[in-house]
């Protein structure tokens, strides 16, 4: 048993309370390799933004859960070296699907876990979430739950269709489970292909796809039922067109990739939405930078010469999200 507190990590409780009161959101960035973690920590340290490092099932399979935890521990020390005196870093399990995996993360130094019972029938979701909450809270680890179904594909999480969260269920769910935050479905979606072209309209000038707007009426109804309760948005990458264009002009093929427009996330960040998950955008930044090097310098074979530029591009992206979209800069001095 290792407590996250010994590792210098923090849970989400205070972060979320401050974010709701301050009208901003905490970035939750997924990581599964060193360059990505360096970029996240550098961007957070330079902007003094609290940050949530997320580990998905896919990341655990790819990089090993043990190694990822030690990397997060190293990240705290790295942040201090960068001059961030009191880093506010949370290590969070993304989409935990069983009690056992959540327990193993709590026991191993994670400061926050998500139990995703959203694909289960309502009562089973409550029972599973409650069990995880009862265990995690003994160690002051915070728990995110999910109600409603997001469409799209993210590692092992996938669903054909989305089902918006039902506002009439949220009070009962939050009260009976005791969860600390709630991921809801209001039209965000996992992956880089969030919407099918037929769900979108086309901008007559650019010919680019314009996605359907998020269901802010559902968010408003949820906030009315649970005033001040921390709300989480998954699947909130914006799929920056400049990265898609670089990928497509450097040997890639990503037609009709589309995400959530940043102005909608900016609006959400000012509400009770206090955690916004971003994964695909950093994958695009990485891939665009690597493809560019491969095309421009075909003789290059030192991975540092293409992973380095990829890391710089991700750092730029994370800082942009923190400062221009979520407004979390300067909130962890």
The smaller minimum CB distance to Zn ion, of residues 42 and 95, is found at: 95
Catalytic-role residue among 94, 97, 116, 180: 94
User: Does residue 194 bind Zn ion (CB under 5 A)?
Assistant: no
Place of tokens 């979108």: 200
How would you class 26 by CB atoms within 10 Å of its CB: exposed for 0-12, middle for 13-18, buried for 19 or more? buried
Number of residues located near Zn ion, criterion CB under 5 A: 1
Place of tokens 């955008």: 281
**Smallest gap from residue 235 Cβ to Zn ion (A):** 6
Backbone angles phi, psi at 229, to 5 degrees: -85, 135
Site string for Zn ion, 258-277 (x = CB under 5 A): --------------------
Which one of 62-70, 227-235, 243-251, 291-299 is the stretch in contact with Zn ion (CB under 5 A)?
227-235
Which one of 161-169, 192-200, 231-239, 305-313 is the stretch in contact with Zn ion (CB under 5 A)?
231-239
Residue 326 CA to its chain's centroid (Å) = 12
Which one of 85-93, 126-134, 137-145, 226-234 is the stretch in contact with Zn ion (CB under 5 A)?
226-234
How far apart, in whole angstroms, are the C-alpha atoms of residue 209 and residue 203?
6
48, 60, 234, 321: residue in contact with Zn ion (rule CB under 5 A):
234
The smaller minimum CB distance to Zn ion, of residues 73 and 282, is found at: 282
**Smallest gap from residue 254 Cβ to Zn ion (A):** 20
The smaller minimum CB distance to Zn ion, of residues 11 and 236, is found at: 236
Q: Roughly how many angstroms between the first and final C-alpha of the chain, as a whole number?
A: 30
Taking a C-beta distance cutoff of 8 angstroms, is the pair 26, 12 a contact?
yes
What are 153's two structure tokens? Answer: 């594909």
Measuring CA to CA, how many Å separate 291 from each of 128, 167, 246, 305, 310?
43, 44, 8, 12, 9
Residue 140 annotated among the catalytic residues of the structure: no
**Smallest gap from residue 86 Cβ to Zn ion (A):** 28
- Write out the binding residues for Zn ion, residues 102-131 only, by CB under 5 A: none
Under DSSP, the state recorded for 214 is P
In terms of Cα–Cα distance, which of 208, 169, 11, 206 is closest to 90? Answer: 11
In terms of Cα–Cα distance, which of 2, 30, 23, 9 is closest to 88? Answer: 9
Place of tokens 């979520």: 326
Bridge partners (DSSP) listed for residue 93: 55, 113
The smaller minimum CB distance to Zn ion, of residues 78 and 195, is found at: 195
**Smallest gap from residue 183 Cβ to Zn ion (A):** 7
**Smallest gap from residue 39 Cβ to Zn ion (A):** 20
The smaller minimum CB distance to Zn ion, of residues 234 and 331, is found at: 234
Which residue's CB comes closest to Zn ion? 234
Which one of 5-13, 135-143, 211-219, 228-236 is the stretch in contact with Zn ion (CB under 5 A)?
228-236
The smaller minimum CB distance to Zn ion, of residues 65 and 185, is found at: 185
Q: What is the DSSP string of 173-186?
A: HHHHH--SEEEE-S
In terms of Cα–Cα distance, which of 196, 271, 211 is closest to 241? Answer: 211
- Write out the binding residues for Zn ion, residues 3-22 only, by CB under 5 A: none
Q: Which residues are catalytic?
A: 94
Q: Which residues of this protein are in contact with Zn ion, per CB under 5 A?
A: 234
């Amino acid at each position: 048993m290792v407590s996250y507190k010994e590792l210098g990590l923090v849970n989400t409780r205070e972060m979320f309370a401050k974010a709701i009161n301050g009208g901003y959101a905490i970035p939750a960035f997924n990581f599964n390799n060193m360059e990505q973690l360096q970029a996240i920590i550098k961007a957070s340290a330079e902007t003094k933004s609290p940050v949530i490092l997320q580990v998905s099932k896919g990341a655990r399979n790819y990089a090993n859960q043990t190694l990822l935890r030690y990397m997060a521990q190293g990240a705290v020390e790295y942040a201090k070296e960068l001059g961030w005196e009191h880093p506010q870093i949370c290590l969070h399990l993304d989409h935990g699907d069983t009690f056992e995996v959540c327990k193993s993360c709590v026991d191993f130094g994670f400061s926050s876990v998500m139990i995703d019972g959203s694909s289960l029938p309502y009562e089973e979701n409550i029972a599973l979430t409650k069990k995880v909450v009862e265990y995690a809270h003994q160690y002051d680890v915070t728990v995110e739950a999910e109600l409603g179904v997001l469409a799209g594909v993210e590692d092992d999480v996938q669903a054909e269709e989305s089902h918006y969260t039902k506002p009439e269920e949220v009070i009962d769910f939050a009260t009976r489970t005791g969860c600390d935050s709630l991921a809801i479905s209001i039209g965000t979606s996992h992956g880089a292909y969030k919407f099918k072209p037929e769900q979108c309209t086309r901008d007559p000038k650019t010919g680019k796809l314009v996605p359907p707007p998020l269901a802010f009426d559902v968010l408003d109804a949820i906030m009315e039922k649970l005033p001040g309760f921390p709300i989480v948005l998954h699947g909130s990458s914006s799929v920056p067109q400049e990265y898609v264009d670089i990928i497509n002009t450097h040997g890639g093929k990503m037609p009709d990739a589309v995400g959530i427009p940043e102005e909608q996330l900016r609006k959400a960040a000012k509400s009770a939405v206090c955690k916004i998950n971003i994964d695909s955008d950093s994958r695009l930044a990485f891939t665009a930078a690597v493809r560019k090097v491969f095309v421009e310098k075909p003789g290059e074979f030192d991975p540092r010469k293409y992973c380095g530029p990829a890391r710089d591009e991700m750092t730029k992206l994370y800082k942009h999200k923190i400062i221009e979209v979520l407004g979390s800069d300067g909130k962890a001095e």
